[in-house]
């Protein structure tokens, strides 16, 4: 019987940076929750109003692990950032 090769873990630079950024964002949210005494709930529904640039940037941080094609809130943030010329979508990556 042949032995299956273990799956190669995603240890690319981009994957590591994304993981660290996600951890930093979660820690910042936890600190904010502790200071304010409120719990942050991550909402994935589309926003009622168009995000400002600052709001869109924050949503991209909070929803970093979300797929933009599934999360309407992240998609709204992407649309604002692309429209402002702050972000460019990579067609090679399927964006």
Residue 8 lies in a domain: no
Distance CA 40, CA 66 (A): 17
Residue 54 lies in a domain: yes
Distance CA 67, CA 43 (A): 14
The number of C-alpha atoms within 13 Å of 11 and in the hemisphere containing its C-beta is: 3
Predicted confidence (pLDDT) at residue 79 exceeds the cutoff of 90: yes
Which of 50, 41, 53, 55 lies closest to 86 in space, CA to CA? Answer: 53
The number of C-alpha atoms within 13 Å of 63 and in the hemisphere containing its C-beta is: 24
CB 72 within 8 A of CB 45: yes
pLDDT of residue 34: 83
Residue 1 lies in a domain: no
pLDDT tens column, 16-57: 777 777 677 777 777 877 888 877 667 888 999 999 999 999
Domain ranges, residue 33:
13-84
- Contacts of residue 15, Cβ cutoff 8 Å, sequence gap at least 6: none
R_g of the chain computed on alpha carbons:
17
pLDDT of residue 48: 93
Residue 40 lies in a domain: yes
Domain count for the chain, please give it: 1
Residue 94 lies in a domain: no
């Amino acid at each position: 019987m042949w032995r299956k090769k273990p799956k190669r873990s995603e240890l690319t630079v981009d994957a590591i940076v994304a993981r660290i950024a996600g951890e930093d964002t979660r820690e910042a949210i936890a600190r904010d929750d502790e200071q304010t005494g409120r719990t942050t709930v991550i909402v994935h529904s589309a926003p009622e109003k168009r995000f400002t640039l600052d709001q869109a940037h924050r949503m991209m941080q909070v929803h970093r692990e979300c797929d933009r094609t599934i999360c309407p809130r992240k998609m709204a943030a992407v649309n604002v950032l692309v429209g402002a010329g702050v972000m460019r979508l990579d067609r090679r990556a399927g964006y």
